[in-house]
């Protein structure tokens, strides 16, 4: 043994850590397997670069301190990415891989054979994985929970519900869970949108002559290990039978401890077409929300995209795009793709000038201006000679109610906030109040078209005010 073979120390380090951390934290973040050592380093492997980044930011110092405690030396702990070929929960890791049975059936033993390479999942986009998912303050909690689920599907957080506005990474995160499970286990994974689920159900139930068709549908969905249903806000008004089936599927999978993940563009409580019992099922696990990324995260996303595509984009261009496109990641990507396409077309590198020129329409889009709700409330209050507190407060006199409803309506029109968030800004009101207010204004506009021009004037004033501050 060379002087610097630290394998035994590493095992001891993990034992020490296991005693200090709670079980779940240890299982989740200390899957760090010894690889080799050099004189000054202990090199261990991690399953993905996402995992590496998370461990580095949370535990790098802690790990090195623990190693120092045991070895008395200042060693660096180096994390090397090595995708795991085996599923950590089901496979006995002590045994060499060759000893695993070659077929994919559950042999009744502790370990399950895992094909070396599964062909890509038909319904999952390979690019929607954890390595390509940039984690920022806006999605940290959601991304960590998603990682935790891959470690402990069906148990840690079931169901897992991701909600957030369009283009904020719901589908990407959901599919990252699916891709991870697909690559690291034999789990059967179904990914569908709410629309596809509905259509498939109707197709099966509609064939009266083939009674077995329905059984086939039921069997398919109830025998899956992981069920991913995207965009559950798209279940239609007339989906009673589909939702009934979904309810039973949910219960069967839940009881069998099979992981379910759903995405939705608003809080479940705001979904009109779902039955109460389904809503309560959906909310009984963990719900996380995705917010629009902040400036730093937007830059990080563009850097990562440029890296993956092997493009060299100057920092100042990335800064410019990130500063001007703040709505969501999809818009950000759209702008980025426009730039790359242009650069390829003309065969020139992207400069600030080119970026400004090519993206001027995208930058000018009204969605891009970052307007705060307080600005909206201030301008509306001023316009009607009220105080901001009148708008946020509880008074119900007619001269206050209309401006308050208008301010809520405008907020929904020109920002990306959900009704729940808007309610919070308006003195902690319920989202149903916001929905009701918006409806009231829509009806008033119908009856009195001049109201619309008042609204347009207010929106103009709000934008002007916003550019001044």
Q: Is 301 in the site for ligand ADP (CB under 6 A)?
A: yes
Can you tell me the distance from the alpha carbon of 305 to that of 318, in angstroms, rounded to the nearest whole number? 11
Q: Using an 8 Å Cβ cutoff, are 298 and 167 in contact?
A: no
Position of tokens 């009231």? Answer: 440
Instruction: Give the total residue count for the chain.
Output: 469
CB-facing half-sphere around the CA of 70: CA atoms within 13 A: 19
- 445's tokens: 């506009």
Q: State which of positions 44-103 bind ligand ADP (CB under 6 A).
A: none
Cβ 243 to ligand ADP, closest distance in Å? Answer: 22
Pick one of 52, 66, 84, 170: the residue that binds ligand ADP (CB under 6 A).
170
Count other Cβ atoms within 10 Å, centred on residue 307.
Answer: 12
Count of positions on this chain that bind Mg ion (CB under 5 A): 2
Q: State which of positions 202-221 bind ligand ADP (CB under 6 A).
A: none
Nearest to 30 by CA among 9, 49, 8, 45: 45
Pick one of 47, 169, 403, 423: the residue that binds ligand ADP (CB under 6 A).
169
Position of tokens 């994390």? Answer: 79
Q: Is 267 in the site for ligand ADP (CB under 6 A)?
A: no
Query: If contact means CB under 5 to 8 A according to the sort of partner, which of ligand ADP, Mg ion, none does residue 422 touch?
Result: none
Nearer to ligand ADP, 289 or 390 (CB): 289
Q: Is 279 in the site for ligand ADP (CB under 6 A)?
A: no
Q: State which of positions 151-180 bind Mg ion (CB under 5 A).
A: 170-171
Pick one of 330, 356, 444, 463: the residue that binds ligand ADP (CB under 6 A).
330
Q: Using an 8 Å Cβ cutoff, are 282 and 262 in contact?
A: yes
Q: Is 298 in the site for ligand ADP (CB under 6 A)?
A: no
Can you tell me the distance from the alpha carbon of 51 to that of 144, in angstroms, rounded to the nearest whole number? 10
- Which span sits near ligand ADP by CB under 6 A: 45-53, 167-175, 247-255, 388-396? 167-175
Cα maximum dimension of the chain = 87
Can you tell me the distance from the alpha carbon of 219 to that of 460, in angstroms, rounded to the nearest whole number? 56
CA dihedral 8, 79, 169, 125 (to 10 degrees): -90
| CA–CA distances in Å: residue 468 to residues 90, 150, 371, 458 | 60, 47, 12, 15
Q: Roughly what angle, to the nearest 10 degrees, separates helices 170-184 and 140-151?
A: 20
Nearer to ligand ADP, 169 or 403 (CB): 169
Q: Is 137 in the site for ligand ADP (CB under 6 A)?
A: no
Pick one of 134, 194, 264, 317: the residue that binds ligand ADP (CB under 6 A).
134
Cβ 405 to ligand ADP, closest distance in Å? Answer: 29
Q: Is 200 in the site for ligand ADP (CB under 6 A)?
A: no
Query: If contact means CB under 5 to 8 A according to the sort of partner, which of ligand ADP, Mg ion, none does residue 132 touch?
Result: ligand ADP
Q: State which of positions 419-448 bind Mg ion (CB under 5 A).
A: none
Position of tokens 């242009």? Answer: 342
Cβ 371 to ligand ADP, closest distance in Å? Answer: 22
Determine the 3-state secondary structure of 119 from DSSP: coil
Nearer to Mg ion, 135 or 329 (CB): 329
Position of tokens 């401006």? Answer: 403
Q: Is 328 in the site for Mg ion (CB under 5 A)?
A: no
Q: Is 253 in the site for ligand ADP (CB under 6 A)?
A: no
Q: Is 322 in the site for Mg ion (CB under 5 A)?
A: no
For ligand ADP, the binding residues (CB under 6 A) are 128, 132-134, 139, 164, 166-172, 301, 329-330, 333
For Mg ion, the binding residues (CB under 5 A) are 170-171
């Amino acid at each position: 043994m060379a002087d610097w073979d630290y394998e035994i120390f590493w095992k001891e380090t993990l034992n020490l850590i296991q005693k200090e951390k709670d079980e779940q934290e240890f299982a989740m973040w200390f899957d760090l397997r010894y690889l080799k050592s050099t004189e000054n380093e202990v090199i261990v492997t991690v399953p993905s670069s996402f995992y590496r980044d998370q461990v580095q930011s949370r535990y790098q110092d802690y790990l090195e301190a623990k190693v120092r405690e045991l070895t008395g030396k200042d060693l660096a702990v180096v994390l090397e990415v090595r995708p795991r070929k085996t599923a950590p929960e089901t496979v006995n890791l002590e045994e060499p891989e060759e000893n695993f049975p070659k077929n994919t059936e559950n042999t009744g033993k502790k370990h399950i054979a895992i094909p070396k390479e599964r062909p890509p999942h038909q319904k999952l986009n390979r690019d929607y994985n954890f390595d390509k998912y940039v984690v920022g303050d806006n999605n940290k909690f959601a991304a960590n929970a998603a990682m935790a689920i891959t470690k402990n599907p069906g148990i840690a957080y079931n169901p897992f519900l991701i909600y957030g506005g369009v283009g904020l990474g719901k589908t990407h995160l959901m599919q990252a869970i699916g891709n991870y499970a697909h690559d690291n286990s034999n789990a059967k994974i179904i990914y569908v949108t709410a629309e596809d689920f509905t259509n498939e159900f109707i197709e099966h139930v509609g064939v009266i002559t083939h009674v077995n068709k329905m059984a086939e549908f039921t069997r398919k969905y109830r025998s899956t290990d992981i069920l991913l249903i995207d965009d559950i806000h798209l279940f239609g008004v007339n989906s009673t039978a589909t939702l009934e089936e979904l309810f039973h599927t949910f219960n069967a999978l839940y009881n069998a401890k099979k992981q379910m993940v759903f995405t939705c563009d608003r809080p479940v409580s705001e979904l009109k077409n779902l039955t109460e019992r389904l809503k309560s099922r959906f909310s009984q696990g963990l719900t996380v929300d995705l917010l629009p990324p902040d400036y730093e995260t937007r830059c990080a996303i563009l850097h990562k995209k440029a890296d993956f595509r092997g493009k060299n984009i100057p920092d100042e261009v990335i800064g410019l795009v990130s500063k001007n496109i703040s709505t969501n990641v999809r818009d950000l990507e759209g702008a980025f793709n426009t730039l790359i396409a242009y650069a390829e077309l003309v065969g020139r590198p992207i400069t600030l000038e080119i970026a400004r020129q090519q993206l001027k329409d995208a930058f000018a889009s009204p969605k891009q201006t970052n307007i705060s709700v307080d600005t909206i409330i201030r301008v509306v209050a001023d316009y009607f000679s009220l105080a901001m507190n009148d708008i946020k407060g509880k008074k119900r006199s007619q001269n206050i109610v209309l401006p308050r409803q208008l301010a809520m309506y405008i907020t929904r029109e020109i920002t990306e906030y959900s009704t729940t968030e808007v309610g919070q800004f308006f003195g902690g009101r319920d989202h149903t109040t916001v929905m009701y207010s918006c409806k009231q204004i829509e009806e008033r506009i119908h009856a009195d078209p001049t109201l619309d021009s008042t609204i347009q004037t207010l929106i103009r004033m709000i934008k002007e005010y916003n550019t001044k501050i």
